């Protein structure tokens, strides 16, 4: 008989195995996470119910007809992959039974899974029914007097694995040493940005990575140790902090360096277009324009998307971004159209994975996307000249 903590530990481990398993297609994992959250996150179940999603029906042909490339057919959920232990029963996930009313959600594509407005993290504590004490708590910065979002992290190992594996898909960690310049964020002990960078720093085997002191100006000599070890510099910073550095005379970074801006332009100064921001950062740090990269993440997410120089963000395989019709967020917009950014972050399995953000985005055919600032709710009101031609 397993103890409660052993059961929980195995449960977390099984989800980690499943989420990062490259052999399980995203759709199958997403449906698995969806069903798990409907069962264990009451507010999400309620939202799906009010939307009219038939949560009681499960397709009889689950496990038999699924094709992950065909979004119209049923999923072949395998309860032995990842989600095989339910801590509330100790005996695996039991799909709820009941009469069929509409096609089960498992018959849809993963994009049909409802996304819940991100404000829910601000207004309620999202906690699955099996969680007593989270291992970490992330809080948004709560700028402009707004209330903070709270995101409880049930399994810190899963969070860290998501950060490291995600980072590793876009960069070779052995090549880089991280330096982070994060004024403002150090005031927030629950910052997810600090947690992500701290994870990268702690797992740098060279020991060269660290946070830069905020009470001293930055000098070229701050990077001497990295140069001596023939490593490349990866300088992280929120947009406003990096711009402050540039304005006060940033040091020229050595060849091969990369600057990663993590958003946050609007917090302290006038917002400037992304292109201009990256141009000014490239000039300020004396690096090529394509050496200015960005990271897209937030307190409500356990995973990050990366723009490693192309100007477009790409996701690790357990994170999927979609662009949603702001008026009907259940509907996807086609590539090239601007809308609300929708997130399916499977590493959020123990909170809420399916989130409608308030960010404005546009996607290319290949699934890469750009973040174009905040979506203005009032966009569809008033006169609006459109670039039709």
Partner 1 sequence: MMQSDGQITRICKAVDAWLGNESGLLEQARERTISDGLFTLHDVGHMLEQVARTVTCEAITAWVEKSRDSYAVQNSGRKDSAVYDKNVLCLHAGNLPMIGLQDIIATLLSGARYHGKLSARDPWLLDGLLRLLQKQLPENVITWSTNLDDFEELRADRILFAGSEASVEPVTSRLWELRAAGKAARFLNRTARFSIAWLSGKDVEELRNKTSGAESPGLLNDLVEAVMRYEGRGCRSVAVVVAPCELSDVAGTLIPALQDYVKKYPFLHSIKPEKSYWASYLETMDRDFFESGPIILTGDTDLMGKEDVVCWISGDAMTVQQIFEKAGPKVQSIYTVENPLPLYTEALSRAQKPPIDWKPDGVDVLRWLSG
* Footprint of partner 1 (CB under 8 A): 43, 46-47, 50-52, 116-117, 119-120, 123-124, 273, 327-330, 360, 372-373, 376-389
Long-range CB contact pairs, 200-203, < 8 A, 24+: 200/163, 200/164, 200/167, 200/173, 203/160, 203/164, 203/173
Q: In the complex with partner 1, which residue's Cβ is closer, 228 or 388? A: 388
Strand ranges (DSSP E) for 65-196? 116-117, 136-139, 150-153, 176-181
| Spatial separation of the C-alpha atoms in residues 341 and 321, rounded to whole Å | 7
Q: In the complex with partner 1, which residue's Cβ is closer, 168 or 273? A: 273
Minimal distance, residue 301 CB to partner 1, in Å = 19
Q: In the complex with partner 1, which residue's Cβ is closer, 2 or 124? A: 124
8 Å CB contact between 198 and 237 = no
* Packing angle of the helix pair 26-40, 42-50 (nearest 10 deg): 100
Minimal distance, residue 325 CB to partner 1, in Å = 9
Q: What are phi and psi of 211, to 5 degrees?
A: -80, 140
Q: In the complex with partner 1, which residue's Cβ is closer, 65 or 148? A: 148
Minimal distance, residue 328 CB to partner 1, in Å = 6
Which letter, b or e, does each residue of 269-301 get, where b requires 16 or more Cβ atoms within 10 Å of its Cβ? eeeeebeebbebbbebbebeeebbbbbbbbbbb
Q: In the complex with partner 1, which residue's Cβ is closer, 67 or 328? A: 328
| Spatial separation of the C-alpha atoms in residues 183 and 194, rounded to whole Å | 11
Q: In the complex with partner 1, which residue's Cβ is closer, 156 or 362? A: 362
Q: In the complex with partner 1, which residue's Cβ is closer, 231 or 274? A: 274
Minimal distance, residue 54 CB to partner 1, in Å = 13
Q: In the complex with partner 1, which residue's Cβ is closer, 101 or 169? A: 101
Q: What are phi and psi of 95, to 5 degrees?
A: -60, 135
The residue written with tokens 């277009």 in the block is: 273
Q: In the complex with partner 1, which residue's Cβ is closer, 212 or 372? A: 372
| Spatial separation of the C-alpha atoms in residues 288 and 310, rounded to whole Å | 12
Minimal distance, residue 143 CB to partner 1, in Å = 14
| Spatial separation of the C-alpha atoms in residues 37 and 33, rounded to whole Å | 6
What pairing do the DSSP bridges indicate for beta strands 354-363 and 116-117?
Answer: parallel
Minimal distance, residue 140 CB to partner 1, in Å = 15
Minimal distance, residue 136 CB to partner 1, in Å = 25
| Spatial separation of the C-alpha atoms in residues 363 and 322, rounded to whole Å | 8
Minimal distance, residue 119 CB to partner 1, in Å = 6
CA distances (Å), origin 97, targets 36, 93, 330 = 14, 12, 25
Minimal distance, residue 167 CB to partner 1, in Å = 31
Minimal distance, residue 93 CB to partner 1, in Å = 23
Q: In the complex with partner 1, which residue's Cβ is closer, 38 or 85? A: 38
By CB atoms closer than 10 A (0-12, 13-18, 19+), residue 376 is: exposed
């Amino acid at each position: 008989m397993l103890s409660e903590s052993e059961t929980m530990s195995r449960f977390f481990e099984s989800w980690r195995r499943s989420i990062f398993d490259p052999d399980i297609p995203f759709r199958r994992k997403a449906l698995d996470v969806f069903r798990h959250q409907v069962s264990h996150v009451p507010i999400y179940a309620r939202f799906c119910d009010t939307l009219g999603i038939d949560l009681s029906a499960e397709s009889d042909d689950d496990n038999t007809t699924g094709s992950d490339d065909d979004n119209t057919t049923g999923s072949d959920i395998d309860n032995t992959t990842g989600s095989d232990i339910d801590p509330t029963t100790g005996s695996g996930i039991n799909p709820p039974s009941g009469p069929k009313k509409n096609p089960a959600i498992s018959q849809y594509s993963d994009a049909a899974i409802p996304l819940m407005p991100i404000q829910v993290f601000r207004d309620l504590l999202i906690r699955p029914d099996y969680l007593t004490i989270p291992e970490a708590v992330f809080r948004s910065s709560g700028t402009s007097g707004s209330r903070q979002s709270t995101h409880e992290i049930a399994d810190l190992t899963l969070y860290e694995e998501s950060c490291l594996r995600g980072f590793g898909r876009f960069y070779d960690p052995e090549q880089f040493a991280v330096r982070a310049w994060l004024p403002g964020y150090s005031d927030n002990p629950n910052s997810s940005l600090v947690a992500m960078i701290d994870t990268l720093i702690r797992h740098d085997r060279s020991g060269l990575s660290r946070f830069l002191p905020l009470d001293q100006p930055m000098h070229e000599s701050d990077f001497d140790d990295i140069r001596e070890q023939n490593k490349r510099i990866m300088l992280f910073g929120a947009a406003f902090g990096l711009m402050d550095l540039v304005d006060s005379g940033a040091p020229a970074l050595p060849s091969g360096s990369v600057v990663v801006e993590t958003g946050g332009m609007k917090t302290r100064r006038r917002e400037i277009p992304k292109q201009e921001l990256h141009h000014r950062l490239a000039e300020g740090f004396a690096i090529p324009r394509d050496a200015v990269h960005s990271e897209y993440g937030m307190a409500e997410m356990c995973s990050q998307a990366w723009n490693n120089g192309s100007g477009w963000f790409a996701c690790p395989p357990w994170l999927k971004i979609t662009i949603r019709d702001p008026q009907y967020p259940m509907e996807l917009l086609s590539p090239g159209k601007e809308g609300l950014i929708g997130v399916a972050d499977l590493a959020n399995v123990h909170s809420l994975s399916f989130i409608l953000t308030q960010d404005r985005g546009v996607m290319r055919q290949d699934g890469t996307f750009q973040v174009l600032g905040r979506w203005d709710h009032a966009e569809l009101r008033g006169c609006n000249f459109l670039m039709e031609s």
